[in-house]
Amino acid sequence: MFSIFDALPGLETPVGAISKNLARMWTTDERPALLPGEDSKATQVNFVLHFGIHTTPEDALAQFQTATRFSQRYPCRVVVLCPTRDESTQATELRAKIYGECHPGKTRGDLRCCEFVMLSYPTAARVFLENQVSTCLSTDLPLYYWAHNFSSSAKLGAYQYLLGRAKRVLLDRSCVPEDDCGELTWPHPEAVRDLVSARLLPVRQTIGQFLSAYAPSALVENLAGVTVRHSPSRRAEAGVLAKWTRDRLVACGADAGLAPLVEPLAAAAPADAVEIEFSYGNGNHFRFLGDFERGCAHIATTMRGAKTELATAIALLSPEAALAEAMFF
């Protein structure tokens, strides 16, 4: 069966020879290759990309390419963990691949190079995995851990070494069961970051900049409720925006018990969109409709009798930019 490990590029190598063969990868016939010097290979972070058992080869390759584009800006040692689906085997053998890429930097002569280690492991070998990962990481550098497409928080919770050591734990709540991540007791809850929230940064900035023209008291005066509506594919984005909106309005003076309603958009609405609506008891009104398919948003308000409308371009952060946002900010 074609596995996620098979789908990823790289040269297969014995697990015990990973470090030696990574060093050899940058030379040819015992001569320095026309590749980078040590300065070019100076990594900034350790980055572990861990696929859930139900990740498809196509999805794994897409996320690997995201990590590759990220590494072009932030040189890093990337360790990719690939579980196998064969639950019947009792084999504990790990397989490994190594892979390297170099990219021109911002100035002439600037070359940035990154190293990737792919580890394939069966379920029976999970107990040996963390020791092997530790030998693949660069010492004295922070660890960032991206857990992609885990089917449950219980399965993710089995990797306490990675969860506990990571400076940031990255999740994408658009591909996990609804509300499941809240069931896990995180070793460091403050380290957890949601890639859905990171991708929404431009949306949050657009809404925040528009509403900053109004006094906080005007935004919460006679506020009756908040509704966030979404197309079927944007449930996770709607949940993030509902929480963000609630937190910002409470900071403006709204009741701490404010609970935004999250519901589907009407059938006639755009196919890939999110809508936020504030309703008031004094005639005021706010509505944001972001259409991600067309790349535009429409904002309309009525505040104390004054009506304002704005049409603007809108887009989500690219996957690699969202990784950087979630990791470092």
- State the CB neighbour count (10 A cutoff) for residue 26: 18
| pLDDT of the residue at 163 | 94
The helix (run of H) or strand (run of E) holding residue 244 is helix 235-251
What is the Cα 243 distance to its own chain's centre? 18
- Any idea of the CA torsion for 248, 249, 253, 258, to the nearest 10 degrees? -120
The reply to whether 218 falls in a domain is yes
**126 and 238 housed in the same domain:** no
Q: Are residues 165 and 251 in the same domain?
A: no
In this structure, are 136 and 223 located in the same domain?
Answer: no
Q: What is the pLDDT of residues 227-236, one digit of tens each?
A: 999 999 999 9
> For 169-201, how does the pLDDT look when each residue is reduced to its tens digit (9 = 90+)?
999 989 876 656 555 778 999 999 999 999 999
The string of pLDDT tens digits covering residues 117-173 is 999 999 888 888 989 999 999 888 999 999 999 887 778 888 999 999 999 999 998
In a domain, 133, yes or no: yes
**Contact between 169 and 193 (Cβ < 8 Å):** yes
In a domain, 322, yes or no: no
pTM over 0.85: yes
> For residue 156, what are its two tokens?
């993710």
Per-residue pLDDT at 30: 43
Mean pLDDT across the chain, nearest whole number? 90
- Report for 51-55, 172-176, 290-294: range of highest mean pLDDT: 290-294
Six token digits for residue 161: 């070494």
Torsion sign, CA atoms 127, 11, 76, 155:
negative
Question: Are both 156 and 226 inside the same structural domain?
Answer: no
Tokens of 274: 């999110």
Structure confidence at residue 41 as a pLDDT band (50, 70, 90): low
CB 240 within 8 A of CB 252: no
Question: Within this chain, do residues 99 and 229 fall inside the same structural domain, yes or no?
Answer: no
Q: Which residues of 186-222 are buried (b: 16+ CB within 10 A; e: fewer)?
A: bbeeebbbbbbbbbbbbbeebbeebbeebeeebbbbe
Give, rounded to a whole angstrom, the gap between the first and last alpha carbons of the chain. 40
pLDDT at 36: 54
